Amino acid sequence: MKKLAARIAGVAGNGPLGIAVVVVAVLAVLASGAAGWYGVSWYRAAHDESLELAMTRDTVLRQARQAAINLTTLDHRNVQAGLDSWEQVSTGPLLEEFRTNRGNYVKTIQQGKVKTESEVVDGAVAELDTRAGTARVLMGIDVTVTPAEGDPTVSRQRLEMVMQRTGDGWKVSAVAPVGPASGAPAAGSPPPDGASPSPPPSEGATAPPN
């Protein structure tokens, strides 16, 4: 498997904005693929509802929103705290990746010298399987990137997140950018060997469309 730091450096080489979105680049190289991002799918995910699943769906969405913010928020002046917040909302293969490659992340983020802050602008639970304890969430976020020198820029990101139920709530086991970011180069790095793919849709996991 190629060293993760080298993979991220390839994205950072795209210029100041490439360095600025290093957090999203990290997500890209961890991802094994991304589902299509279609307006119809987004609408259905946001509006399909089952009374039986309403409370669980709300919990999943709320915790996924916080996880998305954690995973796209960093400050090069306090990297360790940011990476701690990544691990707090992660589980399974994603958590293992973060722990294994933490040293690479610290070095890359400190070299980038940027600060990122995120705001969720839209989100929906696309699939929910309460028996298996899994869910797939689509999330739209605005990432404000402040470089050491220069003006802040905003990048619109779209993420697909696989959530896993744990003893400490719902956490992220896989995450992938969906499509190119608005205002930033597409993170086109292929996944590293051995990356954990997002699980395929489960039959009957999603409430029927209205």
Alpha-carbon distance values, 157 to 28, 100, 129, 133 (Å) = 11, 25, 26, 26
30-82 residue pLDDT tens: 443 344 444 545 555 555 556 667 899 999 999 999 999 999 999 999 999 99
* Whole-number CA gyration radius for the chain: 17
Instruction: Specify the higher pLDDT residue, 84 or 29.
Output: 84
99-158 residue pLDDT tens: 999 999 999 989 989 899 999 999 999 999 999 999 999 999 999 999 988 899 999 999
- For residue 64, the model assigns a pLDDT of 98
- For residue 7, the model assigns a pLDDT of 46
Main-chain phi, psi angles of 197, to 5 degrees: -75, 155
Q: Report how far residue 186's alpha carbon sits from residue 202's, in angstroms, rounded to the nearest whole number.
A: 29
Handedness of CA 122, 126, 129, 132 (dihedral sign): negative
pLDDT at 94 over 90: yes
Instruction: Specify the higher pLDDT residue, 185 or 102.
Output: 102
Q: Report how far residue 198's alpha carbon sits from residue 1's, in angstroms, rounded to the nearest whole number.
A: 19
Q: Are strands 114-129 and 74-75 parallel, antiparallel or unpaired?
A: antiparallel
| Cβ contacts of 25 within 8 Å, gap of 6 or more | 8, 11, 12, 18, 187, 189
DSSP per residue, 14-27: T-HHHHHTHHHHHH
- Asked if residue 147 lies in contact with residue 20, where contact means CB atoms within 8 angstroms, the answer is yes
What is the pTM (predicted TM-score) of this model? 0.65
- For residue 164, the model assigns a pLDDT of 98
- Return the CATH architecture of domain 4-177: Roll (3.10)
Q: Report how far residue 167's alpha carbon sits from residue 96's, in angstroms, rounded to the nearest whole number.
A: 17
DSSP, collapsed to helix, strand or coil, labels residue 159 as strand
